[in-house]
Amino acid sequence: MKYEFAALDQFLSQGLSSFTDRVEVASFIRYLKQRFSYCGRQHLLYFKLSSNGSYGLTQRRSRIIFEAAMTVPPAGASPANVALKARLLKEASLHIPSLKASTQSSLIDLAKDAFLLDLLEPIEFEELTPAEASYYFYHTYIQSQISEIKKNLTGHVFTLGEEKQIKLYLHTHQAALETLLQTVSMQLDEKSRKSIYDYPLDYSLSDIYKMLYTGLESIQSYLETHFTSYINTVLLLPYNKRLFSAAGLTKTAQSVYTHLVKSPVDTTLRRLLEIPLKKMLSVIEQEQWSYEDLFYHKKLLTTLEQAFKAKEVLSEDTLLDILFTMNFNSLDFFDYLTTRIEKSIEGYQGTSKIAQLYYLNKVYKQKSMHTQMRYKKTMPPIKEQVLDYLAEEIIYQEKMLHIQADELKISYAEISKLTTGLSVGQLAYLFRILQETEVIGVKSGNELFRFLQSSFSSKRQETISIHTLSNKYYNVEESTRKVVKEVVIKLLNHINKTKG
């Protein structure tokens, strides 16, 4: 498989050259002169008018740039007057006494009594300090490598025909990125890790590692943006992606929360939905979210937002349907649904209650799910939970009906189940073979599943539910076929050995 991070692996394994090595610094400067035709030192000075009428320097930044371009004024900013510019230039010369006469200047009115003085001082490449030369050499090299990696990733994906190959290729590189990020992170102390997105102040070794870290994260974001359907969604989001996601989801979450409060729904249900909403409003940037967490919550929010746009308030039934089809599979939501089902059948007795349960089973089974993702990854899908509950409830009610029938000589509850060492899947496949070879005959699959559920128990202590039997009956694993084949061979051998 083609591997795109070999250059970065080698770069990290070799380590970074010392800033004080004059031979290395000289080679760094030659490299930068070959790449760029201009070198300048940009000074950004922020001034604020004080109450006594003087202008105080509130912030100062300097950086090296390799193109003769001034700062683009932010939206709403306007050029300040000439007299004020001259005054602030004089003030700036006190803070930067060595400022060259060839320095270009621009004054931007940021807000009320706040100004940005942008100074662009042309310098020779040889005037770069060893730290500056080293930092921008590595910056230029790393950025060129990252650009090439992104280009190669896209190009190679288009040469892969099968989805399985694309996923394997991308998942391998995602895992490699995680390793690279951990390697770089280990080079940073706790203070540097907390300031990883800050502007470099002294072009130290830590600044280079921080720049490399953010570059690697940009590859992660690139993969997510361009190959959303193929990436490994179990992996955790990069930190900056969590920050951007928090900012993007907050407004939508607030809007949904406002509409939810107005909707005439049960207090318990409202609180259930408030949990993920408050989570998105407050702690997403601190939590270890995976891509799947982000995609799920985005889709849930978008679905709710669209529903509230179509109708100012939602009924409880509408909200329940949205949460169900969005696979909101928390245990509390399951409890809420089953409690609601129990209340809905309270007025029914005997066969009418069983008929109503079968009807509800049909309704929930026919609901189309809007996503295969789920709110709780460790819990079964909400549809499976509800269908298993209904199946168990139907069996229970049918048992109760048989117990109450006077004409039955032996109650249904007293019939003991046969114990089998087969798994649920193996049992389902064995009876499928018997049915397909016409050894047994059944009216429908459900009739067979109910019979198996009520007649067998597994030594493996697996739950034999109708829903699980149905799933295993129609989706047979190769390992299951192998085990059942061995059982059949064992039966044949026994027949051959038996004489009478």
In 3-state terms, what secondary structure has residue 443? coil
Q: In terms of pLDDT, which residue wins out, 464 or 32?
A: 32
In 3-state terms, what secondary structure has residue 118? strand
Residue 4 CA, chain-centre distance (Å), reads 24
Furthest CA-CA distance within the chain: 118
Confidence at 293, pLDDT banded by 50, 70, 90: confident
CA atoms within 13 A on the CB side of 32: 28
Does residue 280 surpass a pLDDT of 80?
Answer: no
* pLDDT tens readout for residues 79-102: 557 888 889 999 898 889 888 989
Residues 6+ apart with CB under 8 A from 121: 40, 41, 42, 43, 99, 100, 102, 103
Residue 114 carries which DSSP code? E
* Closest of 141, 128, 143, 116 to residue 64, by C-alpha: 128
Does residue 20 surpass a pLDDT of 50?
Answer: no
Sign (positive or negative) of CA dihedral 74, 79, 84, 86: positive
> Strands, E, within 30-137: which ranges?
40-49, 55-65, 78-79, 104-111, 114-122
Does residue 19 surpass a pLDDT of 70?
Answer: no
Residues 6+ apart with CB under 8 A from 491: none
**Where do the H-state alpha helices sit in 158-204?**
163-185, 190-194
- Give the residue-averaged pLDDT of 51-63: 90
Length of the chain: 500
Confidence at 143, pLDDT banded by 50, 70, 90: very high
- Give the residue-averaged pLDDT of 169-183: 92
Q: What is the pLDDT of residue 360?
A: 96
Residues 6+ apart with CB under 8 A from 15: none
- Give the residue-averaged pLDDT of 201-228: 90
Does residue 311 surpass a pLDDT of 50?
Answer: yes
Q: What is the pLDDT of residue 450?
A: 87
- Give the residue-averaged pLDDT of 399-416: 61
User: How far is the C-alpha of 161 from the C-alpha of 395, rounded, in Å?
Assistant: 48
| Cβ–Cβ < 8 Å for 137, 131 | no
Over the chain, what is the mean pLDDT? 86
Each as own residue / partner, the long-range contacts of residues 182-190 (CB below 8 Å, 24 or more positions apart, any chain) are 183/12, 184/12, 184/209, 184/212, 184/213, 184/216, 185/213, 188/213
- Give the residue-averaged pLDDT of 168-181: 92
User: How far is the C-alpha of 240 from the C-alpha of 224, rounded, in Å?
Assistant: 13
Residue type present at position 245: S
Confidence at 229, pLDDT banded by 50, 70, 90: confident
In 3-state terms, what secondary structure has residue 97? coil
Q: What is the pLDDT of residue 416?
A: 63
Q: What is the pLDDT of residue 355?
A: 95
Q: In terms of pLDDT, which residue wins out, 284 or 229?
A: 229
Confidence at 392, pLDDT banded by 50, 70, 90: very high
Does residue 71 surpass a pLDDT of 60?
Answer: no
Residue 352's φ and ψ, nearest 5 degrees, are -65, -40
Confidence at 77, pLDDT banded by 50, 70, 90: low
